[in-house]
A and B are shown apart, each in its own frame.
Chain A
């Protein structure tokens, strides 16, 4: 690490990461999610495995090994890896997101005749992806919920006003009766996500039945959401340090859609 360039700022809180039974000195140190104080925001547990997955997705053509040497990676490998590692994080996000659905107790009998005091999930769900990057999260959702309905919303920045503008939406007709998993991997200022939530609300989905799943969030975006939609749940893998002058998340991972689809 020592010979990595000192000019680039190193951001975010750091801590030892690893299982409880290992001592601090046995655990490597890594940057972890920035703390946010809202009850409606759930951040995935900062396990070494999650940090390693995030490291892999943040990785671009340039990286530094232990000795601080630059290593160049092959572009094609890079995209395949990016898809694979981001899918794994998305699956973990979906699994966590589903924890917030309503449940009823339900006891079953097992094949060996024992009883298991389990539960059943109540209520129907659907996914809504914010095009295009949100669509990259659909596979992860389907891996957990096989035949889930998935609506789509296209929001683009208006060239003239620089404000997000709704271009297209196609949502399940009975969406007002469903829980909605809103999908968009990068949660920067939350401009398009706020617009997407407005669309959902206009179709009769109450705020408290929306779960916004994203990979990397900014404290600013989370703050904006919490003020505007105090009952809406946000599930994220990692809260980054902040936004740069162009409102990109830093350190971030670049343009998710480009890296997943076209780079």
Chain B
């Protein structure tokens, strides 16, 4: 009888399975809440929507007007439109398929390109508006509650004034303070739920990582005397600002050089002036960078020394003062970032890994494959690194210094002197 050993073996199997299983991170914009506000022309849908957004004053609540989804008109319809004979108040004028696609993309946490409709030309313009990462979206339009496929995606539906298919009826738009309060309270509750869920998701990523070795894709800079000497000056509270900036730039230059060892290279044979061939390497393609603001901007000087013309995206992630939850406030990436050979993601420090996870998620959502992302940071803690590499096992991480996980951010304050 060997039951004990069998049991042990089974437990070991389970542990191994749990260890190799990829952890999942759900950003706060996953599972977007959609609120539909419909009503006839001039009923105050738009006023109500804007009043709600103004009252909440949060960047992750956005309004999507159905006006963007008017179908582009052909010559005949266009002629009618200019003679005011085309019926814009008919559901046939709306491109519900395009709307549905947008909403499905956003619901999946992906980036969506909204068409821009020109009433002068009765055509969609070439340009699009990018929407990414709203937590709550208010869809307003006469036919917001028309297409059952769209309605299925909604968390709540309102009509101004009374119509069918509505959970709440707002009889006289903005004048009805009670209804407005109900809507905002509902959204606030939804946002709180999402935030709680997000923080819990971050927390759950911590479990059981302490005993595991760090991923092989985490590269820690070798502690040479030179590196320690620079660290001594960088970390000494008594170092002058001038020296701090000088040595930090020098350090970041080395960190970027090391980060570039993790991008992909191709073989390239060159002929030297001695007429001989040298079997060398060249980068496979464009390497761009994305700075996680404000910390990542401390690497800009070092980055320019290594790649002077590096295209650089920026995103601002702030930790909520009250909850500590990382929040995405601003995002500007090169349009073709998904085609870049490698993207260096730079942040001065990583503690819990919350903003790092969010930043990588943003790149992944914009079509950058994981194995093309190199995350580089001056310092990081073990738990943060575990979280990041459990969720995104194919990214490479380059770390200047290992520190405790509870280290607060200080580099950016020191570098920018405020």
Contacts and interface: CB of A to CB of B under 8 A. Distances in A.
Interface in A23-42: 28-31
B278 A55 contact: yes
A62 interface: yes
Given A19-B261, A52-B265, A112-B408, A31 B280 contact: yes
B237 A58 contact: no
A107 B190 CA distance: 49
Interface string A222-251: 000000000000000000000010001111
A121 B229 contact: yes
B324 interface: no
A116 B232 contact: yes
B226 A60 contact: no
Interface string A61-76: 0111110000000000
Contacts of B261: 18-19, 47-49
A40 to B, nearest CB: 17
A13 B282 CA distance: 18
A63 B271 CA distance: 6
Contacts of B338: none
A118 B235 contact: yes
Interface residues of A, number: 68
B281 A55 contact: yes
Interface string B277-301: 1111111000000000000000000
A172 B262 CA distance: 42
A55 B277 CA distance: 10
Contact of A250 (B224, B229, B267, B276): B276
B340 interface: no
Interface residues of B, number: 53
Contacts of A162: none
A251 B265 contact: no
B277 A21 contact: no
A55 B270 contact: yes
A110 interface: yes
Contacts of B225: 98-99, 101, 103, 119, 121
A143 B265 CA distance: 27
B278 A108 contact: no
A30 B281 contact: yes
Interface in B30-66: none
Nearest to B403: A114
Contact of B265 (A48, A92, A96): A48
Contact of A92 (B235, B257, B262, B283): B257
A190 interface: no
A200 B280 CA distance: 36
B250 A144 contact: yes
Nearest to A145: B250
B414 interface: yes
A159 B199 CA distance: 77
Interface string B244-261: 001000100110011011
Interface stretch (A3-11, A130-138, A163-171, A205-213): A3-11
Interface of B: 216-217, 219, 224-226, 228-229, 231-232, 235-238, 246, 250, 253-254, 257-258, 260-262, 265-283, 305-306, 308, 396, 403-404, 407-408, 410, 413-414
Given A244-B274, A252-B274, 16 more contacts: A4-B269, A8-B271, A8-B276, A21-B216, A21-B396, A30-B279, A31-B279, A49-B257, A55-B282, A60-B272, A66-B266, A101-B225, A106-B232, A108-B236, A253-B273, A255-B273
